[in-house]
């Protein structure tokens, strides 16, 4: 039996994309991201992983230029079998960045506003320290916009100073 893994992807948007406002962007992203993950796992000869989508949260921008619009954030947990490998993590990062570009992402300034942001947060115990990819993400455990969706997925208490999960809406789970 292949080893089990858990991979987390952070999702965020605070600018309109070709799909519309941030909620429309994240809603349009869901089936495309699910298909990209299924295709990638198939290319690696692995069974389709299980996807668990967190509730959405609305949060203030962290870092970057002042006056940015609030972000809409979520986390996607990907669970399955197969050993995480640095080459696969790089391939997955390329797929995620391709989706960002599809939704109009332009990399102009660090922590600046964006139409779509997809971050690999961790992939099991895999550690990468490259120029383009660092795993686990060095700041994920300090970001309430990541911690609150993760806590909601696990039914853990949400801290009062964290963004609160938004109620479910058509197309997005509660």
Rg (CA), the chain: 15
> Which of 37, 164, 168, 22 is closest to 96 using CA atoms?
37
Residue 15 CA, distance from chain mean position? 16
Tokens of 168: 């479910």
Residues near 67 by beta carbon (within 8 Å), at least 6 away in sequence: none
Structure confidence by residue, pLDDT tens digits, 36-50: 999 999 998 888 899
Spell out the per-residue pLDDT of the chain, length 174, in tens: 566 778 999 999 999 999 999 999 999 999 999 999 999 999 988 888 999 999 999 999 888 788 899 999 999 999 988 778 899 999 999 999 999 999 999 887 777 799 999 999 999 888 999 888 999 998 898 899 999 999 988 877 778 888 888 887 778 865
Contact 151, 158 (CB under 8 A): yes
pLDDT score recorded for residue 75: 96
Task: Kindly list the catalytic residues.
Answer: 105, 114, 117, 119
Structure confidence by residue, pLDDT tens digits, 4-15: 778 999 999 999
* Region at 12 (left for phi over 0; alpha for psi -120 to 50; beta for the rest): beta
| C-alpha to C-alpha distance for 141 and 145, rounded to whole angstroms | 10
In this structure, which CATH number among 3.30.70.560, 3.40.109.10, 3.40.50.720, 3.40.50.10240 belongs to the domain 4-154?
3.30.70.560
């Amino acid at each position: 039996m292949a080893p089990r893994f858990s991979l987390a992807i952070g999702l965020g948007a605070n600018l309109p994309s070709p799909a519309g406002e941030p909620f429309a962007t994240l809603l349009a992203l869901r089936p495309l991201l699910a298909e990209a993950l299924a295709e990638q796992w198939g290319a690696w000869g692995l069974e389709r992983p299980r996807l668990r989508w967190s509730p959405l949260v609305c949060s203030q921008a962290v870092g970057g230029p002042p006056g940015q619009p609030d972000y809409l954030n979520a986390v996607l947990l990907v669970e399955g079998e197969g050993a995480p490998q640095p080459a696969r993590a790089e391939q997955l990062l390329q797929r995620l960045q391709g989706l960002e570009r599809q939704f109009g992402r332009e990399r102009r300034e660090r922590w600046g506003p964006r139409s779509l942001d997809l971050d690999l947060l961790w992939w099991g115990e895999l550690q990468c320290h490259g120029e383009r990819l660092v795993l686990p993400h060095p700041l994920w455990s300090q970001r309430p916009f990541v911690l609150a969706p993760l806590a909601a997925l696990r039914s853990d208490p949400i801290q009062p100073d964290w963004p609160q999960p938004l109620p479910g809406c058509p197309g997005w789970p509660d």
